[in-house]
Each structure stands twice: as C-alpha cells, then as structure tokens.
C-alpha cells in the first residue's frame, strides 16, 4: 500500500478529488485530500490573514496528526507551491513529490512571480473589483469539464485569499533532495503557464516525467487514467 496526500489547487478543495478515492482504494492505496484553510468546507475560515505558510501548515498537520510516513505528496496547480513547502518542512515523512500540472517554485518565489504580467494584473484587479482587495475570484473551469461537473463544482469554488499567491516561499533547507515527478496536462489552459515547469522536469536531473491527455483537472475528467498513472509513479 502507498499513502498519497494531495495539496489541492486554488479556489478548490478536497471534495473535487472524490472520484479518485474509490479508484485508489481498488489499487490498495490510501488517499488523503485535506481542504486548505479558507476553501471548500473550510470557507468559513477565510480571512485576509490566510497565506501560503498557513496552507503549508495545514498539510504538515495532516502528516503529523494522521501519523503518516513514506508519503507520496501530490501538488496540483497552486498546490505545487504548498507541496514544495511541505517537502522542505517535513521531508522525513515523504517518499516522493508528484507535481500534477503544478507550480514548482524556487526559493524566494511566489506564485505571482511565475505568472505573466497580464495574468497577475487580472487576478489583482479581480480582487480589487470583487473581493475587497484580498479575495481573488476564481478562473473558469477547463473547457473539457462536462456540464454536469460544472454544476457540481462551480458553486463549491470560493475566492482564493490573495496572500496565498502573493507570499514568497522561503525554503529552510534549499532545493529538495526528494525524488520528484511531473505530470503535464497536454491540453493547456491559463496560457500554458505550466509548460515552463514541464520543461524544467524534462531537462533537470532527478525528475520523472509523464504527460496526460487532459486539461487541467484530470482527477475530474479522466480519473481512471490518472489513478493508473499515480499507481505506477507511487510504486
């Protein structure tokens, strides 16, 4: 059995991984999909003080309180920022980091630092216009999301606290020595912001690499394919 823990994406929460739970159980694995502070069922906890470090602590607390070891940590999208921080803080509990169409920050970088000027300004202006300066409105769902899934997911997506994407990640132990694997979704969205990280994984030593024929949320649109891939990578 392999234990997988997910750091989910922005505006989202653990609920959106519900299709993956039975698929991973069928393969003999445990899957934890905690919701980060201020999102999903924890939306009532949102505030301007919610930042990237708080989300890192959220996942570290899951590792500690569930007494998890030898974990394959999955960072999806924004969750790559969180997973990188968790790997820096608690590397002794991890086996591998899997970045699923995710940001892979270097020391001192924020999510904003890896966006285009236009994308960053769009998020900032949205927060000013609709979120009192600190709640970033959600982006549209990927085009391959079915109408039924859109009805399920859209009302459960909540604004992202701005400090989670503006705060810079400071690594206490430098670049991780843990094995890393990148899964690149080949139907890009958001101007293919994740292509830069896929290229890094393809060219730097110490990385595994896969591509999946899906847009940004394969855990929603092609969960069986993703479960098979994670089973292989985690094993």
Q: Answer whether 34's CB lies under 8 Å from 62's CB.
A: yes
Q: Residue 119 has which token pair?
A: 């994308």
pLDDT for 188 equals 73
Phi first, then psi: give them for residue 41, nearest 5 degrees: -70, -5
pLDDT for 191 equals 74
Q: Answer whether 41's CB lies under 8 Å from 35's CB.
A: yes
pLDDT digits (tens, 9 = 90+) for 125-175: 999 999 999 999 999 999 899 999 999 999 999 999 999 999 999 999 999
Mean pLDDT of the chain: 97
Q: What percent of the chain has pLDDT over 70?
A: 100
Contacts 24+ apart (CB under 8 A), 112-117: 112/165, 112/166, 113/168, 114/193, 114/196, 115/193, 116/191, 116/193
Q: Answer whether 64's CB lies under 8 Å from 32's CB.
A: no
List domains and CATH numbers for the chain: 3-234 (3.40.50.1820)
pLDDT for 235 equals 82
**pLDDT beyond 80 at 189:** no
Mean pLDDT throughout 187-208?
91
pLDDT band at 190 (very low <50, low <70, confident <90, very high): low
Q: What is the pTM of this model?
A: 0.97
pLDDT digits (tens, 9 = 90+) for 87-120: 999 999 999 999 999 999 999 999 999 999 999 9
CA gap 136, 163 in Å, rounded: 10
Q: Answer whether 1's CB lies under 8 Å from 24's CB.
A: no
């Amino acid at each position: 059995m392999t234990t997988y823990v997910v750091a989910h994406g922005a505006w989202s929460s653990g609920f959106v991984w519900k299709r993956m739970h039975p698929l991973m159980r069928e393969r003999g694995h445990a899957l934890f999909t905690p919701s980060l502070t201020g999102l999903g069922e924890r939306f009532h906890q949102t505030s301007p003080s919610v930042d990237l470090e708080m989300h890192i602590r959220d996942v570290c607390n899951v590792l500690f309180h569930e007494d998890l070891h030898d974990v394959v940590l999955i960072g999806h999208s924004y969750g790559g920022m969180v997973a990188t921080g968790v790997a820096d803080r608690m590397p002794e509990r991890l086996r591998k980091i899997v970045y699923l169409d995710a940001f892979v920050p270097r020391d001192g970088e924020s999510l904003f630092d890896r966006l285009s000027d236009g994308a960053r300004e769009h998020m900032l202006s949205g927060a000013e216009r609709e979120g009192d300066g600190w709640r970033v409105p959600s982006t549209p769902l990927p085009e391959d999301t079915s109408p039924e899934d859109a009805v399920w997911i859209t009302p459960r997506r909540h604004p992202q606290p701005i400090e989670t994407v503006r705060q810079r990640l400071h690594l206490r132990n430098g670049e991780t020595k843990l094995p890393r694997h990148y899964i690149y979704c080949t139907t890009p969205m958001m101007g293919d912001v994740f292509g830069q990280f896929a290229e890094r994984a393809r060219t730097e030593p110490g990385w595994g690499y896969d591509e999946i024929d899906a847009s940004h949320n394969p855990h929603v649109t092609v969960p069986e394919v993703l479960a098979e891939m994670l089973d292989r990578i985690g094993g």
